[in-house]
Amino acid sequence: MEEKSIETLGEFGLIDHLTRNSKQFSTSTHLGVGDDCAVLMANDEEYLLVSKELLLEGIHFDLTYVPLSHLGFKAVSASVSDIYAMNGKPTQVLVGLGVSSRFTLEAVDSLYEGIHRAAAMYGVDLVGGDTTSSVNGLTLSVTVLGSVAKGKITYRKGASVNDILMVSGDLGRAYLGLQVLEREKAVFMANPTIQPELDAFDFLVKKQLMPEARKDVVEVLAALGVTPTSMIDISDGLASEALHLCKASALGCVLFENKMPYHEDVVLNAETFGLAPLTCAMNGGEDYELLFSVSPQDFEQIKGNPHFTPIGYFTDLHGGAKLQDNQGALHEITAQGWRHF
């Protein structure tokens, strides 16, 4: 029998394959694989949330243009973003580090400076981890713990037909920032005497190198008394995350091209790289904004709020996941996830 390639499965297919036979043996496990966090029983009022991020040099980051302090900050931000996606509050992080002999003590200090800066921003404690040597550069693993009230937890599942899909912030900036960095790297590798020109792209590059998890979104929703019917953070692009929500709730959706929130820097610079702003938003990833749904009743409370943009709505499953372009035509939404393999 011909062996299957991991690459043909893609990230999401591999996760489904590896966890298809998983069984739960502990009564304290409320939810295992399948959401942004595992959900564990804590007490009568709260759940314990747990999530992990694994970052490998050459796969998730390129130290040619990623400062180590920025990498540490981003690793923690990406981790706590999963807690916010469950409508929770992050409380602790543990950091695992694999580092080769080419790194100096000062370099590791710089990495941890970014970790501590992010920990202070999100109010989380660094409570442990592990360190080891590595023969393949730098490996960084972050485990984050958090909590959420049982009546406020938000899963990927839970949405209903006609619930409104909302997104925080703007989309596509991180992906376009990556294109800027890759272009300047190529120029530098061809001629090391040429200095990178990044000043004009500062807002794009910062979003790629130092994204901030949307702690404020959870706080605003709580202040408005609104609990989303489903939610996910945008790490792999809007298309992937919308499909996750549809799958979890066994629904379809319609997203509107003319409702997508773009920063002006994305609109002005996407064409330079042969990209459309829509492509950056749908397939770029690493924005770490929150995609969530609310009932039509709760939408009345938050419509017009500057933190959020309504971009579509859920339909029944038979309608599929669709994008309506600016001419009114419907296109199927497809995505494989980040290509790690």
Which helix (H) or strand (E) covers residue 116, if one does? helix 105-122
Looking at residue 199, its pLDDT comes to 83
Structure tokens at 102: 């080419």
Looking at residue 8, its pLDDT comes to 66
Please tell me the pTM assigned to this model. Answer: 0.92
Q: Which domains does the chain have, with CATH numbers?
A: 6-149 (3.30.1330.10), 164-332 (3.90.650.10)
Q: Is the pLDDT of residue 216 over 50?
A: yes
Looking at residue 170, its pLDDT comes to 97
Q: Cβ of 96: how many Cβ atoms within 10 Å?
A: 16
Looking at residue 341, its pLDDT comes to 47
In sequence order, which residues have a C-beta less than 8 Å from that of residue 152 and are 6 or more positions away?
87, 222, 227
- Give per-residue pLDDT as tens, 258-316: 999 999 999 999 999 999 999 999 998 899 999 999 999 999 999 989 999 999 999 99
- Give per-residue pLDDT as tens, 321-336: 999 999 999 999 998 5
Q: Cβ of 162: how many Cβ atoms within 10 Å?
A: 14
Instruction: Determine if residue 172 is left, alpha or beta; phi over 0 gives left, psi from -120 to 50 gives alpha, anything else beta.
Output: left
Structure tokens at 83: 């807690």
Structure tokens at 148: 């959420």
In sequence order, which residues have a C-beta less than 8 Å from that of residue 45 and are 6 or more positions away?
149, 150
- Computed over every residue of the chain, the mean pLDDT equals 92
What percentage of the chain exceeds 70 in pLDDT? Answer: 94
Q: Give the residue among 106, 102, 111 at the shortest CA–CA distance from 75.
A: 111
The pLDDT-based confidence of 12 (bands split at 50, 70, 90) is low
What does the alpha-carbon distance between residue 312 and residue 260 come to, in Å, rounded to a whole number?
Answer: 9
Q: Give the residue among 229, 339, 323 at the shortest CA–CA distance from 285.
A: 339
